[in-house]
Structure formats: C-alpha cells, structure tokens
Amino acid sequence: MSTLSLPIIGAFAFTIIGQAVGLSLIPATRGFTALWPTVGCVVAFIASFGVFARLVNNGVELSMLTPIITITLQLVVLVIGITVYHESASLAKIGLLLGATALIAAATQV
C-alpha cells in the first residue's frame, strides 16, 4: 500500500467531491434531458473515476479505497439531499445509515 502523501490525499478528496457533485446533479438533469446539468454530471463522474483509477494504479488498495469512498459519499449525499433537495430526514433513516456506516467500517478492519 502507498503511503498517504499529499497528492494521494488530494486525489482521494477530488474523487469524493467529484462523485458527490455528480450524484447531487442527477435530480437537476431531469433524467438526462437537461443539457447543462447532464454535461456537468457526466464530466464530474468521468473526472472522479479517472482519478480513482489513477489512485488504484498508484498502489492504493481497492479493498481499502472503495469502502471509505462509499461511506463518505453516503453521508455527503444524505446532507446534500436534506439541505439542497429538502428530502425528509427521519431519525430512522439517519440512524440506519450511521449503523450501516459503522458496519462497513468494521468490515474493512477484518
């Protein structure tokens, strides 16, 4: 596994931000019928997956990287959905998501 240098941390952050932007733009694309939100969504996903692939190519373990990104994206998208798209935020939804996050985090340690 690679050491956590500044470029690797930056690439990791770029991957998460890019995927969060892509996911948060999906409702604005109106099923990929609105041109500019669709372009932004596709570009965000392509750029973030490209950087993700470079991270794996540079030695970051996929089995470590994928769960961390998944957990982070779930929490970020929950916050975006609640704050930007005014989705409901029941305690059950938040509790289940945090519980799933804890289980995924525990599974990466096995």
Q: Among candidates 45, 57, 41, which has minimal Cα distance to 8?
A: 57
pLDDT digits (tens, 9 = 90+) for 31-89: 999 999 999 999 999 999 999 999 999 988 888 888 888 888 988 998 999 999 998 88
Tokens representing 70? Answer: 């998944």
Give the up-direction half-sphere exposure of residue 87: CA atoms within 13 A in the CB hemisphere. Answer: 14
| pLDDT band for position 2 (cuts 50, 70, 90) | low
Q: Among candidates 63, 103, 84, which has minimal Cα distance to 20?
A: 84
